[in-house]
Chain A
Amino acid sequence: MQYSPKVMDHFANPRNVGEIAGADGVGEVGNPACGDIMKMSLKIKDNVIVDVKFKTFGCGAAIATSSISTEMIKGKTLEDALKVTNKAVAEALDGLPPAKMHCSVLAEEAIEAAIDDYLKKTTGKGLEKKKAHKHDERHEH
């Protein structure tokens, strides 16, 4: 299996595992048929992500992308967190095998879904323009 040492580190020692009790926003993305589901919960204070935790059902890359993306958005404003792309997640892990790029898409979507949930709860309105669901497009069922 051709994973970078960084992927293996985040997979074997995942950061921010868990669920935040009374989270301000929760996002769950993925599809059990594809074998990966990512659930991200956020604690948000003054538009800033003060805490983030994840739970993931998936392969090594799915767990590693979940773990590193929590580190990437912690302390960020919602606007900045939404700018985290799947490419940035993959790059932060020193790359992913091509077949595993969809895992980084899943991480990006989990962040987006959690923020969308938060906005819906607080403003009654979700994200104006959600990104296309790239993850599902990569799988045919």
Chain B
Amino acid sequence: MKVVYTDNNATTKVATEVVDAMTPYFTEYYGNPSSMHTFGGQVAKKIDFARQQIAELIGANPDEIVFTSCGTESDNTAIWGVLRANPHKRHIVTSRVEHPAIYNLCKYLAQNGYHVTEIGVDSHGMIDLSELSDAVREDTAVVSIMYANNETGVVFPIEEIGAIVKQRGSMLHTDAVQAVGKLPINLSKSTIDLLTLSGHKLHAPKGIGALFIRKGTTFTPFIIGGHQEKNRRGGTENVPSIIGLGKACELAKKYVNEEQTRIKQLRDKLETEILKRAPDTRVNGHKASRLPNTTNLSFEFVEGEAILLLLNEKGICASSGSACTSGSLEPSHVLRAMGVPFTAVHGSVRLSLSRYNTADEIDYIIEHLPPIIRRLREISPYGRETKVKGQTSTVSARL
């Protein structure tokens, strides 16, 4: 079956170049980089090279890059690392729209003796800087605010956030899993102290991540074990994936401009055409300050899982903030934090592109998505007519 993959904020295709770079590290160079012998030692050199490739993408020093197993581990490492190194500080500031890796970690911390302040967002998903400014205090150990939102693609003004955090003498961690590779990032001129990135969001494999820890940051390791990663993360290195992440970052550096041009154009065309062809549809998220690859649309009167199932029948892969697709029967906390009405949350669909999407694929979605919405609206008890008649108004008005 034809597959049109537009769920790249969930995960991405591993680039062929990445697979090719990794393969020898399964078949030939399987040595342990910590070994004394040349056979293992040569692998350590390759890890250093990968570290450099990553550092170059984000404007960091290679020494500031620590490999982890995934974005979630990087997030946990960052938060716990700072908290343990600063035991007298018991306060954390975060946002209401973080990825579960931070969102649920902060919930856990709040239940276990820490004070957590969650900063809200406006209806465009944009963070409230004055609320943030009021929240950071003397005992704030760390402020953890994402770089770009995975659901809406909304990009936060991270340097403005950092300036506030620095003014108050606290530390800034950012989950940049969705931003790295999609936006140019230069940490050499930045207020960010710790930054999370994940391999599988930028065409490297799953199971590899990295944490940027700015030189001089007081930090305690999260995974305690061997001397790997200069005692910052124990455990034998996942060599093939580290090599893959390095290669993926090298490629991302090459393609990051394309994100702003070709991919953005494809996204904009997709969004404009869908809005034109499927009335009663809204875009969730700030239209200007947004990742170039992401669109989050709410189709009134219909439910997201039903849309995804019919898209799936056409081979189109997307995701939704609907409760029925969350596994927990809870609708998207991100869209709820933005004040999106329940029905519009349930009818939300996220389409996220990558460098592998073509203009033909976008046309294919434009052709097939609007009829799916029309079809489901015919089944729905709600619609324009009910709105016009004013009987029940829209579903949202009933809440």
In the complex, what residues of B have CB within 8 A of residue A55's CB? 379-381
In the complex, what residues of B have CB within 8 A of residue A61's CB? 324
Q: Size band of the A side of the interface?
A: 20 to 34
Chain A contact surface mostly: mixed
Q: Does B381 lie within 8 Å of A32, measured CB to CB?
A: no
Q: Does A59 lie within 8 Å of B379, measured CB to CB?
A: no
Of B304, B329, B343, the residue contacting A32 (CB under 8 A) is: B343
Closest chain B residue, CB of each to CB of A138: B329
A1–B317 CA distance with the chains assembled, in angstroms: 12
In the complex, what residues of B have CB within 8 A of residue A3's CB? 309
Of B303, B327, B329, the residue contacting A57 (CB under 8 A) is: B303
Q: Count contacts between A and B, CB distance < 8 Å.
A: 79
A14–B376 CA distance with the chains assembled, in angstroms: 10
Of the listed stretches B152-160, B187-195, B210-218, B391-399, name the one at the interface; the rest are far from the partner chain. Answer: B391-399
Q: Does B322 lie within 8 Å of A37, measured CB to CB?
A: no
Known: A11-B309, A99-B329. Contact between A33 and B379, CB under 8 A? Answer: no
Q: Does B322 lie within 8 Å of A35, measured CB to CB?
A: yes
CB distance from B20 to the nearest CB of A (A): 34
Flag whether B378 is at the interface (Cβ < 8 A). yes
Contact code string A56-99 (vs B, CB < 8 Å = 1, else 0): 11111111000000000000000000000000000000000001
In the complex, what residues of B have CB within 8 A of residue A62's CB? 303, 306
Q: Does A36 lie within 8 Å of B329, measured CB to CB?
A: no
Closest chain A residue, CB of each to CB of B346: A35
CB distance from A23 to the nearest CB of B (A): 13
Known: A11-B309, A58-B303. Contact between A35 and B381, CB under 8 A? Answer: no
Flag whether A112 is at the interface (Cβ < 8 A). no
Flag whether B331 is at the interface (Cβ < 8 A). yes
In the complex, what residues of A have CB within 8 A of residue B378's CB? 17
**Interface set, chain B 301-357, CB cutoff 8 A to A:** 301-306, 308-310, 312-313, 322-325, 327, 329, 331, 342-343, 346
**5 smallest A-B Cβ distances: which pairs?**
A59-B324, A59-B305, A55-B381, A35-B346, A39-B381
Q: Which residues of A contact B (CB under 8 A)?
A: 1, 3, 8, 11-12, 14, 17, 19, 28, 32-39, 55-63, 99-100, 139
Q: Which residues of B contact A (CB under 8 A)?
A: 301-306, 308-310, 312-313, 322-325, 327, 329, 331, 342-343, 346, 378-382, 395-396, 398-399
